[in-house]
Amino acid sequence: MDKRILITGGAGFIGSHLADELLSAGYRVRALDSLVPQVHEQRVRPSYLDESVELMVGDVRSPEAVARALDGVDAVVHLAAQVGVGQSMYQIADYTSTNVVGTATLLEALIKQPVERLVVASSMSIYGEGLYRAGDGRAVHDAERSIAGLSNGIWELQDQDGALLEPIPTPETKAPALSSVYALTKFDQERLCLMTGQAYRIPTVAARFFNVYGPRQALSNPYTGVLAIFAARLLNRRPPVIYEDGEQRRDFVSVYDVARALRLALKAPDAAGRAFNIGSGQSASVRDIASRLAAVLDANDIAPEITGNYRVGDIRHCFADISLARTVLGYQPQMTLEAGLMELAGWLSGQSAADRVDDAHAELTARGLTV
């Protein structure tokens, strides 16, 4: 196979794993990455990036950088984005510029230099709350929590009569409910790509990632994935900080499974024009994840700190229904959470991390973004 794939954000956590996956499948890989300090503290090519990857350092908002990166490529996987719900609520211009303007810049370049396929990274955050079921069996697509209830520690979602709603797997048909700036920008990225792809006949696929974890995640970034944030705390012998009561449920998916799903999305014939959930199809509570990570790191003596606070933009439960990805992409998760945590622990044993969680929490509190 002699096809060249461009990965925007290709020097990052997911991008570097995707590069490995594509190289092993016989593709050539080019990465466009701005090496932002929050992820790449030294702003140099990361040692984990395969030497076969052609790295171009540049900003996805730069038409010149994007045009150079697109020269001679057959397909694009667009991962470049600012990530993190909390930070997005006060770095509004930066998130909007990177995620939305960056995507628009890429699309304008693709109109001039079309490719065989575009795959864009979307996010489970666009759903807001996941899908729920009422006591009468009815699916509830628009469940949400009130600030008044959250201020009184009412974490679970209820119907109009105060009866608890049951969280169930969320399918792609669930309507978006954008509860953070980050979620809004990811929805913009998804829709811009699918819309432009249809208009200019560029086959386009959106992959809605759930909570991705694995080696190479930026441990010193306090706005990255929850497992990496917990790991940074535990490596510094400090307790993981958990909002609410820790019983909120998420879908934790291995980065290896995500990379495989993206490779499948590049070639699945019936995928174009559609969005797919990319998760494990399983759920776990945040409190349970903290305990399990502590166990594999031999840190059972460090109990998590349950704050009882709510962070603006957070949702209660959301985990993936992955049946569509199974059917259309041929996607099947292969890494169990147990195996994934053990592998993560092995990688973490050789890592150090600057713990900036307290600074991030103080920033959110000072801005009134915790309740």
pLDDT tens, position by position, 65-76 = 999 999 999 999
Which helix (H) or strand (E) segment is 75 a member of?
Answer: strand 75-78
**pLDDT score of 1 more than 70:** no
Q: Is 2 exposed, middle or buried (0-12, 13-18, 19+ CB in 10 A)?
A: exposed
Structural domain spans, the chain: 4-366
Predicted pLDDT of residue 223: 65
The runs of H, that is alpha helices, within 36-177 are 63-70, 85-88, 92-95, 102-112, 147-151
Measured distance CA(29)–CA(363) in Å, rounded: 38
Q: Tell me: domain 4-366, CATH 3.40.50.720, correct? A: yes
Measured distance CA(186)–CA(192) in Å, rounded: 10
Q: Which residues pair with 317 in a beta bridge?
A: 249
Q: How confident is the model at residue 36 (pLDDT cuts 50, 70, 90)?
A: confident
Predicted pLDDT of residue 205: 98
CA dihedral 150, 151, 152, 156 (to 10 degrees): 10
**pLDDT score of 354 more than 80:** no
Name the residue type at position 131: L
Catalytic machinery residues:
182
Average pLDDT of span 326-337: 98
**pLDDT score of 356 more than 80:** no
Higher pLDDT, 311 or 262: 262
Kindly state the tokens that stand for 105: 């810049």
DSSP secondary structure string for all residues of 258-277: HHHHHHHHHH-TT-TTEEEE
Query: What's phi and psi for 119, nearest 5 deg?
Result: -120, 125
CA dihedral 9, 12, 15, 19 (to 10 degrees): 110
Q: Give how far Cα 58 sits from Cα of 43, 113, 276, 279, Å.
A: 12, 18, 29, 30
Name the residue type at position 80: A
- Tell me the pTM: 0.94
Query: To the nearest whole percent, how much of the chain has pLDDT over 90?
Result: 79
Q: How confident is the model at residue 209 (pLDDT cuts 50, 70, 90)?
A: very high
